[in-house]
Amino acid sequence: MSWNGIARIPRAVLQIKGIDASKFLNGLITTRLLPNVVKKKQHTISDNENRHLELQEVIDPQKNWGLMHEDIYDPEFNIFVRRDGVSSMFLNSKGRVVNDCFVYANPYHTLTEAFRETIKEPNFLVEVDPKYASALQSLLRIHKLSARVKIEPVKSVFSYYYYNETPEFEEWLEEFQMNYLTTGDPEGALENANKVVEEELIFNKKFAPNVAGFAIDNRIPNFGLKILTTEEATDPAEIFSESFKALFDVKEVSPHSITDRRYVNGLFETSDAPAGMSLLPFECNLDYINGLSLEKGCYVGQELTIRTYNGGVIRKRVVPLSFTGDEGDLAKLGDADVTEVSLEPAVEEEAPKKAASPFGDSKKAASPFGDSKKAASPFGDSGKSASPFGSSGRAPRKSKIGKLLSVRGKMGFALVNLDKLKKDNRLKVSVPGVSKELDATAHVPEWWPEDI
């Protein structure tokens, strides 16, 4: 896999615009779009809410103000108002994941007449995997009711992803965020976005009129850059300024490279799972990928999500797997229906043993009425006959450790029981049509918090 590259990736984009767009989307996604918090239930609001009362004074939800960025693991509980996009999720009423997404403030900058017209009303772009676009559009329309919003697919928007694995790029990106992405109000956010374009820190000024959306992919810290354009680039390198290309290599790579890199780094997307798979947001590591707000109050699926977070019991999460075995068998694994593939611990669990009684020997005391043996049965010996099925002693148990969700070459994702994973991360994989089990190893990504 290349150390750096840019690729146009297949994505669908929906536009939600109108005076109620912020309120409408805020009630449907896991990140926050309103400055105020509605306290319908006290346990849904964190103690840090009072730190952000000033947001109500600087953000007018009925204007095109931008997006809030926060990290629930930030010890300083910062919330920044910015123009760049955020990762988020849509949930259903039962708290299950509908799909993940990126949400962008549209436009990113206002250095063209067209963008100055667009910014006159609230406008958001929601980027999703194409297979979710139709269902999501239907879901949004169901929830629209009397909201003053317009929901429509945008065909003429193209999505690009740039990554660079060098420490120099990570250092540059940290400095860029510190200098341009720590604003606390909409005016400062737009001013800095315009500076980024004018000073050609990233984008070629000639191509910048086509840049409708921009995001730093911080699902993993400094993982990459996401760019939405209104024109397809003949050569993706033309998106970037000469000053940027003087610092960093920009070469076109296959979209598959972007996906491969996600698998290698353990970054799961809901489109990786088989169709119809029901997953919870914490199982998808939403809290680890900057896709969750604890300050926003009510939204669809919020009740179970916040209760789970406050309860602190998250038994299963999606983790990356690596497979080893015969190449032919691995190929069969790749072709198999993952819902029919079984994952089990490599080491069988011992059957639980009875604990010794704290009251000593469990034998009954002698009866004061003499021998307590029952009288002989008229039907013969009451002792049980030997079982025709062999010993009734308990054998070591084989228990499933989780569900396989996807396979890509020698990598994959699985939803696993964390307690079992901590005991032993080695797995056995049973594939239909393969006579012997394959070996797999479950990995805890380095970017996860240490206290999982």
| Domain residue ranges in the chain | 4-310, 316-347+398-442
d(CA 15, CA 390): 66
* Contacts of residue 126, Cβ cutoff 8 Å, sequence gap at least 6: 13, 14, 15, 16, 25, 101, 102, 103, 104, 136
Q: What is the pTM of this model?
A: 0.87
For position 399, what pLDDT does the model report? 62
Q: Is 332 helix (H, G, I), strand (E, B) or coil?
A: helix
Nearest to 3 by CA among 289, 320, 250: 250
Q: Which fold has domain 316-347+398-442?
A: Elongation Factor Tu (Ef-tu); domain 3 (2.40.30)
Reported as a single tens digit per residue, the pLDDT across 93-129 is 999 999 999 999 999 999 999 999 999 999 999 999 9
Q: Is 192 helix (H, G, I), strand (E, B) or coil?
A: helix
Tell me the two tokens of residue 121.
């009303």
CATH of the structural domain 4-310, one choice from 1.20.1440.230, 3.30.70.1400, 1.10.4080.10, 3.30.43.10? 3.30.70.1400
Positions in the chain short of pLDDT 70: 1, 37-52, 349-399, 452
For position 296, what pLDDT does the model report? 86
For position 77, what pLDDT does the model report? 87
For position 62, what pLDDT does the model report? 98
Displacement of CA 178 from its chain's centroid (Å): 25
For position 2, what pLDDT does the model report? 75
